[in-house]
Structure 1
């Protein structure tokens, strides 16, 4: 069964939140695809993941490179699963893909200060429940640690 995790961002950007979540995914041995809303956003994230920390980087590539199938993390603005990932991150109000059940985990990051993003997350929540997915909601506490909310 697919787990769908909703991460409610408030006061933090995707650029701040995404790298640690990707690090945890890699530590668990998961291959990941990150789908954003545009090629420009994909390119911006590509540059950010190489430089977000001075002492580390995340091994990744965009879906445009020839060896995308061999990358642990692939960034894309399209549907599809170029690296046979079991985890898919959805950013920028991207809808659940038609093949969502083929993933072990879907992670939707949404801006809680953006009414459109909240509305899209609610639609995705209802779709996830109706498709029989295990759905959880996460929000950061005052210290920035993710807490599961009911």
Structure 2
């Protein structure tokens, strides 16, 4: 059964979402879990690519932008369904839930205070619940 974690941010700043993605990617890498980040757009994918190289002063997170599943990298980024691989963790930033989400052990959804994103997240929640996923919520606080 797929576990879905909803991370609730108390802001609508787009950079806060992406910073959280970098933190989650760091945790996945540290625990040796392969991760795919499913971006909403090519531009968001490119921005995440830059952030993963620079989000920590003393290190970087090894990753690659892919257009097909690639087991050679611990973290992959993509914005197409062809870039998804099964059996690893997924961070979904896309407007829709990928149809093959249940091929992943764990899925993370980032929810912020943007009204449109909140509405989409509610639809995602209902879809995951209908599919019998284990659902978790994490209310986050802003860090300075």
Is the TM-score greater than 0.5? yes
- Root-mean-square deviation (CA), in Å? 2.0
Asked if 1 retains the 8 angstrom alpha-carbon contact of 2:67 and 2:80, the reply is no
Structure 2 distance, partners of 1:82, 1:122, is: 23
> Could you tell me which residue of structure 2 aligns to residue 63 of structure 1?
66
The TM-score, its normalising length taken from structure 1, stands at 0.84
Q: SS at the partner of 1:69?
A: coil
Tell me, which stretches of 5 or more residues in structure 2 are unaligned?
Answer: none
Q: Give how far 1:109 is off.
A: 0.8
Which structure's relative contact order is higher, taking Cα pairs within 8 Å and 6+ residues apart? 2
Q: Which residue of 1 aligns with 2:111?
A: 110
Pairs within 5 Å for 1:105-144: 105-111=106-112, 113-141=113-141, 144=143
**Taking structure 2 as the reference length, what is the TM-score of the superposition?**
0.87
Moved more, 26-35 or 125-134: 26-35
Distance 1:84 1:115 in 2: 31
Name the CA distance, whole Å, in 1 between partners of 2:86 and 2:74: 9
CA contact (8 A) 2:78 2:84 kept: no
> Relative to structure 2, which stretch is displaced further, 3-12 or 47-56?
3-12
User: 1:41 Cα deviation (Å)?
Assistant: 0.9
Aligned to 1:147: none
Runs of 4+ aligned structure 1 residues displaced above 6 Å come to none
**Can you give the 5+ residue segments of structure 1 that lack an aligned partner in the other structure?**
145-150
Q: How far did 1:58 drift?
A: 0.4
